[in-house]
Structure 1
Amino acid sequence: MAYAWRWFRSLVFVAQMYLTMAIMALYFTPLAAINRVWAFRGVHTYCRWVRWTASWMIGLRSEIRGDVPDGEVLIASKHQSFFDIIMIVSVVPRPKFIMKHSLKWAPILGWFALRIGCVPVDRGKKAKAVEQMVAGVRAGVETPGQLIIYPQGTRVAPGAKKPYKIGPAVLYGELSQDCVPAATNVGVFWPRTGIYRKPGLAVVEFLPPIKPGLSTEAFMETLETTIEAASDALMAEAGKL
């Protein structure tokens, strides 16, 4: 009975989440078409709404730890579910993502993603994808902000292992900016698929930046070790490991 009740609450939460997205899009889209600032206000408002409603509708509280990046940086984040995207975007001033190319056609999300400066890439061809990332970043230089990339390339379930891709190292060398690793445990509570959401404390933690100048091998080793250790610690805190 308890599980059925939580599942029903999760269903109501998910339904209102997408309904609110549509309602907010009606308000923010005309404004964002005129001025890009409104696109950022729209995504910030929506993400903060989702975090707030999750806290009381399904008992999923959320917390940001560490120093929130606000300058020109590369953020390399562990990606476990849609909720870690929500949490990061809710606090980062001018977020923009390296995103899957097909998402540019997603209703509402795709348009706003392009409006805030996200870079779509074709992940099906590795070499071409890296070229597209670099070209996209160069083309978007006039739109300052925090470039967010997922080193494993996709959502990874808590405890699962998936290799880190070379893309972050290419961008790290190309941009010569600090890279801020980010760890999370959100997948413990908000799975990659399905309706059910668990109550608890979801955390995204921004870790100390990796300064420019490391070799590709040293950067990748530092990035993976840092993110995985911190994510494991957060998942253990949540009772997963």
Structure 2
Amino acid sequence: MRGAVRWVVSLIFTVQMYLVMLILGIVFAPWAIVSPEGARKACNLYCHWVFWTARWMVGIRTELRGPVPQGEVLIAAKHQSFLDILILFEALPRPKFIMKRELMWTPVIGVYAKRLGCVPVDRGKRGAAIARMIEDVAHGRADPGQLVIYPQGTRVAPGKHVRYKSGAAVLYTQFAHSCVPTATNVGLFWPRKGIMKHPGTAVVEILETIPPGVETAAFMTRLETEIETASDALMAEAGFAPDRAA
């Protein structure tokens, strides 16, 4: 019975969350069209709304750990669900996400992503997609910010392993960025699929910066090791033991 009630409350939370996204998207549209600052204000307000309603409706609290990057850096982030996107967006001064191109055509999200300078990439076209990504990032550097990439390329459920792709290393080398790895445990409470939400503290942790100049293979090894180790620690802190055989 308690599980059924929690599912219903989770459904109500999810419905209102997307309804508010639509309302804010429409209300802020004139300002967002005129200025990217309008898009940022709308998205920050939306983040605050989701965090507030998640806390009292489904018992999810959010926490950011570590120093927030301020300058033009590459952020390579563990991605488990929509919630880790919101936590990073709210924390960073000028975030720009590398995202699947098809999302750019979705109502509200696509329009605001374009205004924020997000970079679309094509799935399944590795060489061409990376070349286009480099070109789009180069064009967007006139508006410096924190470029967020998900090195696994998709949301990954807790305890599952998906290999790290080369896109983060390409950008790290091409633009001589510092790279800031981030870890998370949010998928324990806000799964990547389904309606059900679970109470607990969802954490995104900003890790030690990797300076420019690390050789590609060493960079990829360090990036994956640090993100996965820290994410495992956050999940263990919440009582979950990742099964690396899964």
**TM-score where L is the length of structure 2:** 0.96
Deviations 1:76-104 (Å, cap 9, x if unpaired)? 00001111111111111111111101011
Q: Deviations over 1:4-61 (max 9, x none)?
A: 1111110111011011111111221110111111111111111121111101110001
SS at match of 1:143: coil
CA distance in 2, matches of 1:222, 1:171: 16
CA distance in 1, matches of 2:59, 2:24: 24
* Equivalent pair of 1:185/1:234 in contact (CA under 8 Å): yes
> CA offset at residue 116 of structure 1?
0.2
Partner of residue 112, structure 1: 112
Quote the Cα distance in structure 1 between the aligned partners of 2:92 and 2:43: 11
Aligned partners of 1:143 and 1:39: how far apart in 2? 14
Instruction: Tell me which residue corresponds to 1:88.
Output: 88
Cα distance in 1 for residues equivalent to 2:2 and 2:82:
25
Cα deviation digits, residues 93-138 of structure 1 (max 9, x gap): 1111111010110100001001100010102111111111101101
2:196 is equivalent to residue 196 of structure 1:
yes
DSSP-derived class of the 2:103 partner: helix
Counterpart code for 1:161: H
Unaligned runs of 5+ residues in structure 1 are none
Q: Does 1:76 align with 2:87?
A: no
For 1:101-140, what aligned pairs fall within 5 Å after superposition?
101-140=101-140
Shift of the alpha carbon at 1:228? 0.3
- Residue type of the alignment partner of 1:14: T
Structure 1 distance, partners of 2:175, 2:54, is 36
Letter in 2 for 1:90: E
* Correspondence for 2:244: none
Between the aligned partners of 2:219 and 2:92, the Cα distance in structure 1 is: 23
SS of equivalent residue, structure 2 residue 28:
helix
- Mapped to 2, the partners of 1:74 and 1:172 lie a distance apart of 7
SS of corresponding position for 1:99 = strand
Distance in 2 separating the partners of 1:47 and 1:185: 18
Distance, in Å, in 1 between the alignment partners of 2:208 and 2:38 is 30
Write the letter of the residue equivalent to 2:51: R
| Structure 2 partner of 1:183 | 183
In the other structure, the counterpart of 1:33 is: 33
Quick check: 1:78–1:184 contact (8 Å CA) kept in 2? yes
Structure 2 partner of 1:9: 9
- Structure 2 Cα separation of the partners of residues 168 and 212 of structure 1: 12
Equivalent residue pairs, number:
241
**Secondary structure of the structure 1 residue equivalent to 2:89:** helix
For normalisation by structure 1, the TM-score amounts to: 0.98
CA deviations on 1:141-189 (whole Å, 9 max, x unpaired) are 1121110000000011000011000000000011212110000000111
Q: Which amino acid aligns with 2:5?
A: W
How far 1:192 sits from its partner (Å)?
Answer: 1.1
Which residue does the alignment assign to 1:47?
47
Percent sequence identity over aligned pairs: 57
Q: Which amino acid aligns with 1:51?
A: F
Amino acid aligned to 1:52: W
Instruction: Tell me how far apart the structure 2 counterparts of residues 81 and 143 of structure 1 sit (CA, whole Å).
Output: 27
The alpha carbon displacement at 1:234 in A equals 0.4
Q: CA deviation at 1:62?
A: 0.7
Counterpart Cα distance in 1 of 2:94 and 2:44: 9
- The CA deviation string for residues 187-206 of structure 1, in whole angstroms up to 9 with x for no partner, is 11111111000000100000
